[in-house]
Structure 1
């Protein structure tokens, strides 16, 4: 594979993990726009640990632990809100994280931070496949069923014995950990991080990957992230019109497939399609 293809592949992997970070909360009916903030914690946490002499695997693990602990602490006050207020609260958290980093000279402030240790495409790919397998497994467990029940009817799920608060906190914490992992992988692949990269647009994209792919199956975020990442590259030959074309394609897809591209009915039809005679 060429260097360009490997670079696009690494970016795709980071986007896939970020999409699953958004998926964990969206699966419970919660719109979390704090993904970029947790990615920043993962990126800078891993960078600081690596620069302090830690081995790369330990640095990444420490960054994921940091993001998950912060996610656990933030989830309790944040999840008291609902609807648009929850979205605003998570967005505010992300902005606070970025603002703190921008004002810390020890983290490079606005100039960014050089990261010791480079991580190539293939290790990132294997980690991404592990994340996909983990989320698919969680979706098949009672925990995954509870997430779907809460998204469809939280009050009804509580009546039937689902501890909605505990499930929501767990989903939020897992999402924070995955976002921290995505940020750590990004930092070690590009060997440089800057706080401006972790803005609200990054969180919005992560949510769009999931919504476009579909919430009905755990493979939806993978499909959505792949389409969002690869389609602009495939349309590169159209020069300045590629983003216009890409935007038009997204609008048409959302009109025709409002529940996402990868739904249960789509999988059923695909598996039971009879070959032409």
Structure 2
């Protein structure tokens, strides 16, 4: 496989893991705009332990998950007291605080970043993304997953039925932080270098868009959203030059054309995002859509109990 496609698979796998890291809090009704900060925690934990302590990747990756999960659990209690736009602003501010602390830390390399000695090939993040996907699908099918959905749909009724809303949301937030730490550690070991500028606000926004536009009602949403919006810019890279040539040729232009720059890919992505928010505000994948597909695939039983083919 070419280096180009291995890079795409690596980025896609990390994006899928990050999408699920944000999906778990969102599934309980809590928007998290601080994904980049938690990914930075995992990346710098793995990078520091690998470069300064000399630990192998199989030790730094669990350590990064542990740090991401513990930090998320500790800040979840005060942070989740806020709701709505205030929670979004609080998580965003937290990510900026983490970025500022790393940027001003000489131990972590500051603005220069850190080199990571040990390299992991693309198969590791791909396998990790598959395992995380299976884990989230299993989690959402358990009683705890049903409780998460109940907290999302109506937290007042869930509280009246005896559900610990705060406890469910803290566990979901901490689990999401651990997955973000995993994504950061995989980023550090597959690219062998980390710098805080890579974990900026734009990354947090993109990951949240993967979840919201893919759909928050089922575990299929983050997977489809991350896959679609990761591969779309790469598709635009090959489609836009031909599209530009076709449009210009309609006006009789025959001179040589310069290829579209990178900004056009983001213009197209922005237009598609707005259109989806207008016509599919619930996301690409909804619970009713999954139920319809399941009913078509699942064999039906007749009145006498026999299975209909």
Name the counterpart of 2:224: 223
For 2:218 and 2:88, locate their aligned partners in 1 and report how far apart those are by CA, in whole Å: 23
SS state at 1:156 partner:
helix
Matched ranges for 1:1-277 at <5 A: 1-51=1-51, 52-237=53-238, 238=240, 239-240=260-261, 241-272=264-295
1:160-212 Cα distance to aligned partner (Å, 9 max, x none): 01111110110010010011111110111100000111112111111110011
Structure 1 runs of 4+ aligned residues shifted over 6 Å read none
Structure 1 residue 250, shift from structure 2 partner: 2.6
Distance 1:157 1:257 in 2: 27
Q: 1:162 to 1:61 in 2, by over 3 A?
A: same
> Please, what is the CA RMSD of the aligned residues?
1.4
2-side partners of 1:249 and 1:82: how far apart? Answer: 28
SS at match of 2:107: helix
Q: Which runs of 5+ in 2 are unaligned?
A: 241-259, 298-309
Structure 2 length normalisation: TM-score?
Answer: 0.86
Q: Which structure has the larger Rg over C-alpha atoms? A: 2
Instruction: Give the Cα–Cα distance (whole angstroms) in 2 for the partners of residues 26 and 121 of structure 1.
Output: 28
TM-score with structure 1 setting the length: 0.95
Distance 1:175 1:144 in 2: 14
